[in-house]
Amino acid sequence: MRTDIKINVFERVDDLHRNGYHIIQDPTRFCFGVDAVLLSSFARVKKGDRVLDLGTGTGIIPILLAAKTQGAHFTGLEIQEESAEMAERSVALNELEDKVSIRQGDIKEVASLFAGHSFHVVTANPPYMNEGGGLVNPHSPKAIARHELLCSLGDVVWGASQMLQKGGRFYMIHRPHRLTDILTLLRRYRLEPKRLRFIHPFREKAPTMVLVEGCKDGNPMIRVEPPLIIYSQPGQYTQEAYDIYYGEGQA
């Protein structure tokens, strides 16, 4: 880890527990959550793959995928200038400039930012809320990250389809109550749904998140995988969740 990277007084550096990597975060803006870690584990990136993360925020998903997989290159697209700049510093902090790049830009303009159908994998952890009513500050970084203010679910799925080559894979994490919208949009934009996995906080609780894989121009067939349970009891991860967070064999 480099020691000459600027860290602002309002920022913190968090340990990712992977390859000695760290990430710069601003608690007043938006810090990555469990959903990003789960998505990076669910996504299947093969050796030599080119990967694009839509709405990368802190750059957490490209950095985690660079640590966990043998993909050739990882690109993060982020619309907010401050977040993109901070993500670039995290890339430099971990000396990943040859593997990870951050680009500022709008998901809705992705077709003009990158060559079409040039990625093997696209990932997205998009805003979950599809209404902005009642927001104290709809222009705040946290509101933009949580609500569909600058892009819709349809924009994300369309962007993924534009970027993926035939047979390419799209991975997303979202809320179960949007599942009908998700599956409908995937088919509309030729990303055939292939895998679903529901995330439950406890075994007896309803799922709070769902992981989805779509394949560009894939054949119809979907597999629902066994649920992922996060906690065996309050404050204690299940072994599978622990392995996802900290790496297998680290307990």
pLDDT beyond 70 at 141: no
Structural domain boundaries of the chain? 12-246
Q: Phi first, then psi: what are they for 57, rounded to 5°?
A: 60, -115
Tens digit of pLDDT for each residue in 64-120?
999 999 999 999 999 999 999 999 999 999 999 999 999 999 999 999 999 999 999
pTM for the whole thing? 0.91
pLDDT of residue 50: 98
Residue 191's SS3 state is strand
Rounded CA gap, 91 and 38, in Å? 20
Q: Which residues of 36-70 are buried (b: 16+ CB within 10 A; e: fewer)?
A: bbbbbbbbebeeebbbbbbbbbbbbbbbbbbbbbe
Q: Which backbone phi and psi does 224 adopt, to 5 degrees? A: -95, 115
pLDDT for the residue numbered 131: 54
The per-residue pLDDT for 57 is 93
What's the confidence (pLDDT) of residue 59?
96
Q: Considering the chain, what percentage of its residues have pLDDT values greater than 70?
A: 89
Q: Assign 147 a pLDDT band (cuts: 50, 70, 90).
A: very low
pLDDT digits (tens, 9 = 90+) for 6-44: 999 999 999 999 999 999 999 887 788 899 999 999 999
Residue 251 has pLDDT above 60, yes or no: no
pLDDT tens readout for residues 190-202: 999 999 999 999 9
The pLDDT score that the predictor gives to residue 65 is: 97
pLDDT(148) > 70: no
**Mean pLDDT (the chain, rounded):** 90
Q: What percent of the chain has pLDDT over 90?
A: 82
pLDDT band at 150 (very low <50, low <70, confident <90, very high): low
Write out the CATH class of domain 12-246: alpha beta
Instruction: Give the rounded distance of the alpha carbon of 106 from its chain centre.
Output: 16
**CB under 8 Å to 80, separation ≥6 — which residues?**
104, 141, 144
